[in-house]
Amino acid sequence: MRRFGASNWILLLLCLMYMILYVDRVNISTAAPLIKANLGLSNTQLGLAFSAFAYPYALFQLIGGYFGDKFGARLTLCVSGLIVCISTAATGLVDSLVTLVAARLALGIGEGATFPTATRAMAVWTPERNWAFAQGITHSFARIGNAVTPPLIALLIELVSWRGSFVVLALASLMWVVLWTWYFRDVPTTPPLSKEEFAALPTRSRNNPKEPVPWLKLFQRMLPVTMVDFCYGWTLWLFVSWIPSFFYQNYHQDLRQSALYSAGVFLGGVIGDTLGGTVSDRILQRTGDRVAARRNVIVAGLLGGFVFLLPVILIHDINIAAVSLAAAFFCIELIVGPIWAVPMDIAPKYSGSASGMMNFGFGTAGIISPLVFGYLVDRTGSWTLPFTGSICLLLLGAALAFRMHPDKPFEAAPVKAVLA
């Protein structure tokens, strides 16, 4: 028990947070056919509800990252978690498109600050040699959330209805908030850390909370990473928003069957997240080359996603589609550990703000991708044609990745002393 130190307990708490947040985020996808029928929505309107989450989510990447750097991860994640609890429970009470959109907007506010703030916590509580692994394993738990959500929500719907399922998940979220606030502290100390653990933590991640964030210069530095994250995020949002409905409507599966197929697809992402972060850190430890460890793994993942999405649009067979989607999801999730480590590599002192700037691209993709996909399905009647846009953006992301420079640390302009 002693070998599982305080740093690992913090990482485990963050893993649980990522899993719970993704369950709260994508539960609507499994319940979507019932919500659609109950509220009388079209696919386009449902896509609007999906994308409503992403508007505040994108904005609060920037605001939340700043809050995490300014006020610390303990308070920021506590407040964010409470907002998630309330909005998740409220989703079970909606009676129209307007109230559904409002609940999703509130959920986007709550979740928007979480990942940048969690990166702030990792940058301080995790040894630098394990940064990509920490990002990979936490996002792997997010994909576990993706994988377990379809069968979990299908079961809860049978037990307590689709409305009651959201209330149950809100209570689980509240339990995490209480545990986090009780255990976590913004500044690592001994105890609970051992002297060996404390010595292994990076000092260059620790900043003065009163130190201003150089927003414009940092944003210019992070812009290429933001663009790559947008290209990745387009496909990720497509998966988490529409895959259950894809099997349900395109292949005429019932709710339980579509949930099982979706779970299989999302399990591919669980493996990809963990493997991508592990491989990235191994490359860095062996070569010391951050470009090879981060950029090359990202490019390989994007190109792999491109290759495995091709059969989905060329062959109409449910088993081929399921295997291809799982392989594609595995490949694009190889990206997660390395790309989230890049802001920590570039600007560890401002890792909350830097990762928020990066994930602003992901949030922006979430605004557009689900809505465009739903609109194209309604207009064309095709569930495979909209995947073409993802294929093109995966290629674009691979090209843009060469503009990232994780090997060049960000240096803020020195503040000039005011002479008396």
Mind listing the pLDDT tens digit for each residue in 131-170?
Answer: 888 888 898 898 888 778 878 888 899 899 889 999 999 9
Structure tokens given for 102: 């409002």
- Cα torsion 169, 171, 173, 175 to 10°: value is -140
**Which pLDDT score, from 0 to 100, does residue 420 have?**
35
In a domain, 90, yes or no: yes
Digit-coded pLDDT (tens) for 236-248: 888 877 787 778 7
Q: Is the residue at 410 inside a domain?
A: no
Calculate mean pLDDT across residues 43-53: 81
Predicted structure pTM score: 0.77
Produce one character per residue of 354-389: b if its CB has 16 or more CB atoms within 10 Å, e if not.
bbbbbbbbbbbbbbbbbbbbbbbbeeeeebbebbeb
Number of domains in the chain: 1
**Tens digit of pLDDT for each residue in 264-279?**
888 888 889 889 989 9
Q: Would the pLDDT of 206 be above 60?
A: no
- Mean pLDDT over 341-353 rounds to 87
pLDDT of residue 415: 45
Q: Does a structural domain hold residue 1?
A: no
On whether residue 230 sits in a domain, the answer given is yes
Give Cα separations from 271 to 19, 65, 120, 130, 276 (angstroms).
Answer: 14, 27, 24, 17, 8
CATH of the domain at 122: 1.20.1250.20
* 208 pLDDT higher than 70: no
323 vs 399: CA distance, rounded Å: 26
The answer as to whether 290 is a domain residue is yes
**CA–CA distances in Å: residue 363 to residues 73, 215, 230:** 20, 19, 8
Two structure tokens written together for 189:
């100390």
Residue 379 lies in a domain: yes
DSSP-derived letter for residue 212 is: P
Whether residue 418 has pLDDT greater than 70: no
Does a structural domain hold residue 241? yes
Max avg pLDDT among 123-137, 162-176, 182-196, 338-352: 162-176
Per-residue pLDDT at 330: 94
Q: 60: domain range? A: 6-201+217-403
At which residue do the structure tokens 């390989």 appear? 300
Q: Closest by alpha carbon to 126, among 16, 22, 15, 215?
A: 15
To the nearest whole percent, how much of the chain has pLDDT over 70?
95
DSSP-assigned letters across all residues of 227-268: HHHHHHHHHHHHHHHHHHHIIIIIS---HHHHHHHHHHHHHH
pLDDT tens-place string over residues 298-338: 999 999 999 999 998 888 788 898 899 999 999 999 999 99
In a domain, 278, yes or no: yes
